[in-house]
Amino acid sequence: MKSNDKPTANYTIIKWFGIFFLTTVLLQFSPDSIHDILTYHQNTFQNTFQNNFKLLWMWFTAHLIHLNWEHWALNILAFSVTLLLFKEVWTLSFVSWIYVISAWTVTLGLIFFEPNVTYYMGFSGVLHAYLIAGALTYIHVDKRIAYFMTILITLKVWYEFFTQKSVWVSALTDMPVVLNAHAYGWVGGILVFLFVWVTDRKSNHPHKL
């Protein structure tokens, strides 16, 4: 991304976040019957595979709704900080692809590796994709910060994965958290970053997504 493109790119991301924010607010105000349709349910998603992916749209909606307003506020606040922290690297296609790919990796992880998770909703899995993809791509801006944040995020994700403990979440809320979803989102973020990296090497233009 050229330096003179940054103001326009940042304004585009602000508009994108505004649409995302309003969508999640409207979904929170929607009735429980709508939430039930949009939520990940283990049996429903297993049947999706058996019925030729007829309910594929549900793979993306479960990450936009939340258990309650506290759950929503924590994720929106964390996402806002993430976008600000790595604001130099975001483009519209980059943030869009992170959502699409990580929504899939989180959902596939739940389907294949979490048979005991009967339902799932929330943005935290996808959020960790933005964290790791943003940190890795930030190497074009500041290598020291990029390396530090990449190591910190990776240690957090895999500590949670192997210990099933999260000091930060426990200190903030007593809501049930599917910690492994963070790892599946992390994988999605890595995949998007690798795609960007390969594209950059072929084009000789750093991070033009």
Could you read off the pLDDT of 148-206 as tens digits, one per residue?
A: 999 999 999 999 999 988 756 655 566 678 899 999 999 999 999 999 888 877 776 55
pLDDT at 40: 85
Contact call for residues 183 and 157 (beta carbons, < 8 A): yes
Q: Where are the domains of the chain?
A: 3-203
pLDDT at 43: 72
Fill in the amino acid letter for 208: K
Query: CA–CA separation, 111 vs 132, rounded Å?
Result: 23
Identify the architecture of domain 3-203 in CATH: Up-down Bundle (1.20)
pTM: predicted TM-score of the whole model, two decimal places? 0.88
pLDDT at 1: 45
Query: What does the buried/exposed string (b/e) look like for 117-141 if buried means 16 or more CB atoms within 10 Å of the residue's CB?
Result: beebbbbbbbbbbbbbbbbbbbbee
Query: What does the buried/exposed string (b/e) look like for 157-194 if buried means 16 or more CB atoms within 10 Å of the residue's CB?
Result: beebeeeeebeebeeeeeeebbbbbbbbbbbbbbbbbe
pLDDT at 98: 97
Q: Which helix (H) or strand (E) holds 119?
A: strand 119-120
Contact call for residues 90 and 9 (beta carbons, < 8 A): yes
pLDDT at 169: 63
Query: What is the DSSP-derived secondary structure letter of residue 56?
Result: T
Q: Give the tokens for residue 188.
A: 């999605």
Contact call for residues 124 and 176 (beta carbons, < 8 A): no
Q: Give the tokens for residue 14.
A: 């602000």
What pairing do the DSSP bridges indicate for beta strands 119-120 and 40-41? antiparallel
Fill in the amino acid letter for 166: S
Query: What is the DSSP-derived secondary structure letter of residue 206?
Result: T
Residue ranges of the chain with pLDDT lower than 50?
1-4, 52, 54
